[in-house]
Every structure is written in C-alpha cells, then in structure tokens.
Amino acid sequence: MPGQARQRDIAWAFAKNDFQKRIYSERTIALALNLFFGPYKERKVPMFVPHSFALALLMMITSAVCWGSWANTYKGVKNYRFELFYWDYALGIFLISLVLAFTMGSSAGDPSSFLNNVRAADSSNIVSTLVGGAIFNLANLLLVAGIDMAGLAIAFPVSIGIALVVGVVLSYILQPKGNAGALAAGVVCAVIAVVLDGKAYGSLLGTNQSVTKKSIITCIVSGVLMGLWAPFVTRAMTQGNTLGPYNVGVFLTLGALLSCFIWNIYFMKKPLVGEPVQFGDFFRGPSAGHLLGILGGCIWGLGTVFNLVAARFSGVAISYAIGQSAPMVAALWGVLAWKEFRGANRQAKTYLGLMFLFYVLAILLVARANTAS
C-alpha cells in the first residue's frame, strides 16, 4: 500500500535522525569528559588504611572504647553464665572481622586486599595468628575467672598491668617502631592508671573479699597470656610474606573461636568459680543472651580490627598500648551508666580522678612516641 510505505519511510527517517543525534550527543559528552578529566579509567577503591597519624590515633582510641565497652552486653543478661555467653561472643568477634575484611579490606586488583593477601602470605604467619587468637581466648576466660575470685581491685591491676608491659615490650622488640623513651614513659603511666583503677574499686567495694593464692596465680597467668597474643600478631605483620591487618583480624578471631572447643568446654566442665555447666544450657539460654553475646563480640572485634589497621601506620607496640586504655573506658561506663560510684567515699573518687589523669598522660606520651620517632 503506497500510504503505508510512505509512513514507514517517514518513521525510519525520524528514527535514524534520532539515533544519529544520540550518537553525536554521547560523543560530545565523552569528548568533554576526556577534555576535563582525561581518558576514562576504571576507578578502584583501595583497601582502607590510615595515611596520617591523626586518623591512626582516632582508630586506636576507638579500639580502646570498643575494648572497654563490650562487657556491658554481658551486664545486660541476668542469670546467664559467662561460659555460655562466651560462645556467642566468640562467634560475634569472628563475624565482624570477616565483614570488615570483605568490605574495608578488599578492593579489585589490589595485591594487599583480603583474598589476595591470604594466597600470598606465608602459612607460618597464618598459623602464628591463629595461635595468638587461641592465647587471647584463654587469657580472656582466665581474666573473667580472676575477677570473680579476687575482684576488680586485684584482677585488673595484676592482669591488665602485666599484659600491657608484656605486650608492648615484646611487640617493640619484634618491631622497634617509635621513640622507646616516650613509649616506656607512657606504659609506666598506663600501669599506674590500672593500679589506681583497682584502688578505686577496692575503696568502693571494701577489702573484705578474700584473696587466695589460686586467684593471684590465675590473674598473673591471664596477664602474661593477654600480653602474648600481640607479639604473635606482630610477627605475622612483619616477618616474611606478611599478613595485612584485616587478614590478621580474621585469623586471630578464627583462632579464638576454634579454641573455644578446647578452653571453653574445659571451663564448662571444670570451672574455676561456680558449678559445672552443661552444653545443653546454651540452647536453653534466653534469646537476649544470644543476641547480646554476638553484639558484644562484634564490638570487641571492631575495636581489634581498628587497632590492627592503625598498627600498620604506628607499629603494634604503640597501637596496643593505646588500645589498653580500655579500663578507663570501662570505668567511665561504671560511673556514668551503671552508677557504680554513686555514694562512693572521697578516697574512691580521688583514685578514680587520678586514674583518668594518668591514662590521659599515657595516651599523650604514647602518641608522642610515634611523632618523635
């Protein structure tokens, strides 16, 4: 039909003209982009690491806040044994480390991204980090038992004080980064702050709690072990084909989770405090207990990964030292949220104020150790 043929020709002409306009328009846009921004290249988001000490310090302080805050989740659970709570906690620390590794720690084509680093790293460094995680796990369980047996006034100064010295000294030997004098002065101030923290709680609670040889040994062993996981991590981040901070976070927390099947089951059957716990009690536990356990683990795991990422800039000794300001954060929670010092005597308040002062001095001196190096 002549009329229909004519309509098809007109339609085709319009379509052809429109197509040509689109091509010219796209070419014009491409030419303009090329003129102003240069040739187009695929943009890749790099793995997140701090490139200034200010940002690294912020991440270290964040890690201290997380390490000093996770225990609040356990306080939110009533009549639930810590050995049962710990299973969800261990799962939480591993899950958050994995999430951060596949987000902040991954980028296409980057040889230091999570999966590429796993393939390239020495297997000995992976094993070292897994062992570090298992050591941390045992230390953490012993610390909680030490607090139950001897109280915060004894357990914190002994365990955290020893951990701080052992962790910083051994990490610095493996990776001598930063000014040794300023770092040592900062560690001394932090140890004094830990002792004052214990004194504050001792004045608050009184000294009626009996302290046995068993409880002191438990606190000492906990402190030594708590300080030992940092050197294992330092080795993995400095020797041979190293692990990146996100990979260390994953394998450290995986080691902690897997070691629960040794340490936590043992303490469930032979607890240092209280009666044995049945594994079936875990499945009968409250939903809030499981959720808070995972949340507590996520909080601690976030702080740990941030501490490790910051250590890539500052060195493990400095990052670990600032992260161990966690007792100051825990004390702040006690004062502001749990009202533990309501009605406290003047002596307890004095110890508490001095504790905060020495922790601030410790952070300033350790930060100075990095900038003075």
Structural domain spans, the chain: 1-41, 53-371
The position carrying tokens 């994995």 is 98
> Is the entire prediction scored with pTM above 0.75?
yes
Backbone φ and ψ for 121, nearest 5 degrees, come out as -70, 155
Q: How far apart are the first and last CA of the chain?
A: 90
Neighbours of 353 (CB within 10 A): 12
Residue-by-residue pLDDT tens, the chain, 373 positions: 555 555 555 555 554 555 454 444 445 544 444 544 445 444 456 789 999 999 999 999 999 999 999 999 998 888 899 999 999 999 999 999 999 999 999 876 677 889 999 999 999 999 999 999 999 999 999 998 888 888 777 888 889 899 999 999 999 999 999 999 999 999 999 999 999 998 898 887 665 556 788 988 999 999 999 999 999 999 999 999 999 999 999 999 999 999 999 999 999 999 998 899 999 999 999 999 999 999 999 999 999 999 999 999 999 999 999 999 999 999 899 888 888 888 888 999 999 999 999 999 999 999 999 877 6
Structure tokens at 322: 């600032």
Residue 96 to residue 300: CA distance in whole angstroms: 9
| CB distance 48 to 114 below 8 Å | no
Amino acid letter, residue 188: V
| CB distance 301 to 96 below 8 Å | yes
